[in-house]
Amino acid sequence: MADFTAPQFTPVNLITGFLGSGKTTLLQRLLADPALADTAVLINEFGEVGLDHHLLERIDDTMMLLQSGCLCCTIRGELSTAIKDLHSKRERGVVPAFRRIVVESTGLADPFPILSTVQADPVLRHHFRLGNVITTIDAVNGLGRPESIKQVAVADRLVLTKTDLASDVAPLLAQIRDLNPDAPLWRAAEQAIDAAALLDGGSHSPLRALPATSDSPHGSVHAFALAFEGQLDWTMFGVWLTMLLNRHGAAVLRVKGVLNVAGSPTPVAIHGVQHLVHPPVHLAAWPDADRRSRLVFIVDGLERGAIERSLAAFLRPGSQIQPAAVA
């Protein structure tokens, strides 16, 4: 451990997914990868018996079990304390040095407060950063519950489990793409899972797929993409997005995109989950020849037309931007 230096910001990944969708199985597969040997795992248990804990004995040195119930509603403070405790022990050399934390939530947890805990806590946000959110989806039981729909909507990576047991996953895949058009998806039963691709990187390619708004089978949750010609005023965009999230944050399950910002030769990537917006990332280069600002929204009950018109009205005084057709 003498030559180990902890990364300046240790990534915190969240593995979520509905009850029985294979979160722990996925975690076991990931932890078998030598690349993840220095990973600390935090598991939240819903119930009195921490069965999952016994499945992950290999990492017991840096594992803590959060026992007080559903992660989203009762133990934000406990999660914060648990991560700070791990950090403290790492600094003192009490636990093996780790380069990553993976939090496995309960199947009923709303991912947002978990993410918010890392970003809102003054200590945590100076030592940790949010990594990818990985959502497991049970191919047999599909997306039946509001919790699972939200978990899919906020995911950076999707893992479809039990595909060997399901007869036809095409309708479920179509549902998933309605909710989250751009997150890379793995089929756990048939594909090798590349731990590095799952946990790291690639989160700033938000517009691989540009969906048209369609009637969603998930009630009011739907995804759509907007594109704007011209350079936009970053400050005015901030005024608009903070105002939108203040009033409709609970309904904006996710907003993600690349912006052509006036005064910046390279694009700025933004990424938000409900009320939480990650620090904007200044990309080194444009991902392709398209210089339009592009935004993907996954929203619950908000209309695409209203958002597009509002954003254009806010930005136009300072920026000559025009809504553009999405290819």
Nearest distance from C-beta of residue 280 to other proteins, angstroms: 4
Contact between 278 and other proteins by CB under 8 A: the answer reads yes
* Rounded least distance, CB 222 to other proteins, Å: 16
Applying the rule CB under 8 A, the residues between 99 and 118 that interact with other proteins are 113, 116
Nearer to other proteins by Cβ, of 38 and 308: the residue is 308
**Torsions phi, psi for 253 (to 5 deg):** -65, -30
Q: For other proteins, which residue of 24, 240, 254, 298 counts as binding (CB under 8 A)?
A: 240
Chain positions 122 to 141 lying near other proteins, rule: CB under 8 A, are 122, 125
The span from the CA of 108 to the CA of 72, in Å, is 8
Q: Which residues, 6+ apart, have CB-to-CB distance to 290 below 8 Å?
A: none
Nearer to other proteins, 107 or 113 (CB): 113
Q: Is there binding between residue 185 and other proteins (CB under 8 A)?
A: no
Distance CA 145, CA 5 (A): 43
Binder of other proteins out of 53, 187, 275, 304 (CB under 8 A): 275
In the window 288-317, what residues touch other proteins (CB under 8 A)? 302-303, 306-307, 309-310, 313-314, 316-317
Number of residues that bind other proteins (CB under 8 A): 43
Q: Which is nearer to other proteins, 20 or 323 (CB)?
A: 323
73 binds other proteins per the rule CB under 8 A: no
For the bound state, the minimum distance from the C-beta of residue 43 to other proteins, rounded and expressed in Å, comes to 23
Give the residue with the Cβ less far from other proteins, 33 or 200: 200
- Applying CB under 8 A, among 51, 170, 246, 265 the residue interacting with other proteins is 246
Does 84 engage in binding with other proteins (CB under 8 A)? Answer: no
Least distance in Å: CB of 206 to other proteins?
15
Q: Which of 88, 191, 220, 242 binds other proteins (CB under 8 A)?
A: 242
Interacting residues with other proteins (CB under 8 A): 113, 116, 120, 122, 125, 233-236, 238-240, 242-249, 261, 264, 268, 274-282, 302-303, 306-307, 309-310, 313-314, 316-318
